[in-house]
Amino acid sequence: MTTYSRVFLLAFLIIWCGMLLDPHQILQAESAGETDGEKIVFQWAFCAQHKADAGQQPIVITRDTTLKSGDQIKFFVKLEPSVYLYLIYRSSQGDISVLFPYRFEQLDDPSSLSGKHYIPRGDRWLELDDHTGEEKYYLLAAADRLLDLEALINQYESADKAKKSGLSGKITTEIRNLRKRHLKFKTYAEKPVTIIGNLRGTEKSSTPSTRDIADFAVEISTTTFFSRTYTIDHQQE
């Protein structure tokens, strides 16, 4: 076969293969690569009330902050059936408490947790006691259950006092590892919501403010996984 014939045959094959490819399928494949991951959407608010300002409008917590003994805090979430959300508290002594869900068994049917939740429930607020130091609140949301994290927390809750410290460290390490494994899903959108129409400390039955903290909620949307940590510098009054 001459060189000219080879060139002609190669050109023919390229054109013929191009005719077999569906441009629409190519675009679909490219789009699929851009939208990897399951979408998760939820509403969230974290509010505080300084003891000296009881009865005033609550403060919206969006970043690390300083609170004092006697100050009160409350959380709000509104969930879709496809979102698994965890709110975990670590005290300055390293004690772990799960604020949400109330029981991991509730996640067997995530639709049972869809809708609005106030933490703590009703008109109660959580009050910071006299144990000062650095406290952390871990907010995690995922398209799939975080079963390894749940298993560690179950071990922690059933362990004797001597083993709790080590398990507490494993829980915080697992949270860090979850973030590392989901770095590619770090991008998220956050926008205000249009409104139509046993933690260390004590739960108060009185409401510091008559304003519903759901009024301060933001909608967070991302894919597959979301995490945020709030560090509270808990100081003496």
CA distance 135 to 94: 8
Q: Is the pLDDT of residue 83 over 90?
A: yes
Mean pLDDT of 173-180: 96
Average pLDDT, the chain: 82
Q: Which residues of 63-89 are buried (b: 16+ CB within 10 A; e: fewer)?
A: eeeebebbbbbbbbbbbbeebbbbbbb
Question: Which residues lie below 8 Å from residue 160, measured CB to CB, with a gap of 6+?
Answer: none
Whether 196 has a pLDDT exceeding 60, the answer reads no
Rounded CA separation 162/178 (Å)? 26
What's the rounded mean pLDDT across residues 136-154? 97
Query: Given this model, what pLDDT does residue 53 score?
Result: 81
Q: Average pLDDT of 86-114?
A: 94
225 close to 39: Cβ distance less than 8 angstroms: no
12-16, 46-50, 210-214: least confident range: 12-16
Of 188, 139, 145, which is closest to residue 41 (Cα–Cα)?
188
Terminal Cα-to-Cα distance of the chain (whole angstroms): 93
